[in-house]
Amino acid sequence: MAARIIDGKAIAAEVRAEVAAGVEAMAAAGARPPHLTAVLVGDDAASATYVRLKGRDCAEVGMTSEALALPASTTQDELLEVVRGLNANEAVDGVIVQKPIPGDVDDALVDATLDASKDADGLGPTSLGRLVQGAPVFVPATPAGVQQLLLRSGIDPSGQHVVIVGRSILVGRPLAMLLSMKAEGANATVTIAHTGTGDLGGVTREADILVAAAGRRNLITGEMVKPGAVVIDVGTNRVDDPSKKAGFRLAGDVDYEAVREVASAITPVPGGVGPMTRAMLLVNTLRAAQARQ
């Protein structure tokens, strides 16, 4: 039987509606709308698109936002100065610095310089440290989105074996921390797989919930999935497609057609994790604004 499709677009719309209600409640209490500033360095087309979409999301839920576009030639010192300026700006609640940052800039230093109370991406050392301590404030948006996709689809990770393919600081590692917390909506047994994993298929076949976050198209085949498992595809890989205006389409890390015949539930790409990542950024921005107003 074909797997149930987990509709990330619909669930993200649900989350956005909740955020919009939170923004309205702040307005009713006399507060200004939450404000997100996105810093975009250079002219990478994909990054520019992400920033534009985030601005649109903010407007939809009643938040204000701005995109600070800096030239690709921006040095590390110049970028850190911009971040310090945003830290000091009382009108700014949340800040994201869009990755990848071109040039010779240390991403981790940028994340560490951003005031922890404005860390909407949840990637700074304080946010990640709080997550490891089991008392998160801002959870990175993609891991938070994966957890919400599961919970809002009636899939409780508690007691389940979750296998995550990928150990990046953006997705795999914080997701492992989040789902292994002793907390409601978590409490899973988590395995992280990566390029050093000996028998990847042997490990993924053990998963009750399999999360693919490797950035390798079709890495996860039907034979690598236990019948009845839940499969969450974080991967977004560009595939040439002349029929599309952009000349490409997005595909995940999972061989969707084969795996949907084996899994009990699966996220599509696009329309799965992507919209949830954007929605969870709004949740973090609302949280940041609520804490400072």
Ligand X SMILES: NC(=O)c1ccc[n+]([C@@H]2O[C@H](COP(=O)([O-])OP(=O)(O)OC[C@H]3O[C@@H](n4cnc5c(N)ncnc54)[C@H](OP(=O)(O)O)[C@@H]3O)[C@@H](O)[C@H]2O)c1
Under the rule (CB under 6 A), what is the footprint of ligand X?
142, 165-168, 170-172, 193-197, 200, 213-216, 219, 234-237, 273-274, 277
Shortest CB 187 distance to ligand X, Å: 24
Specify the residue, 82 or 219, whose C-beta has the smaller distance to ligand X: 219
Asked whether the beta carbons of 91 and 281 are under 8 A apart, the reply is no
Of 110, 149, 127, the residue nearest 10 (C-alpha): 149
Three-state DSSP class for residue 210? strand
Nearest residue (CB) to ligand X, 104 versus 199: 199
Active-site hit among 7, 93, 111, 121: 121
Smallest gap from Cβ 114 to ligand X, in A, equals 19
- Is 208 marked active-site? no
How far CA 103 is from CA of 50, 82, 110, 273, in Å, comes to 19, 16, 13, 29
Q: Which is nearer to ligand X, 83 or 279 (CB)?
A: 279
* C-beta of residue 206 within 8 angstroms of C-beta of residue 161: yes
In terms of CB distance, is 127 or 142 closer to ligand X? 142
Catalytic annotation, pick one of 7, 57, 93, 98: 98
At its nearest, how many Å lie between ligand X and the CB of residue 269?
A: 7
Q: With CA atoms as reference, report the closest residue to 138 among 117, 166, 164, 155.
A: 117
Respond yes or no: is residue 54 known to be catalytic.
Answer: yes
**Taking the complex as a whole, how short is the minimal distance between the CB of residue 279 and ligand X, in angstroms?**
10
> For residues 132 and 36, what is the distance between their CA atoms, to the nearest angstrom?
25
Return the active site residues. 54, 98, 121
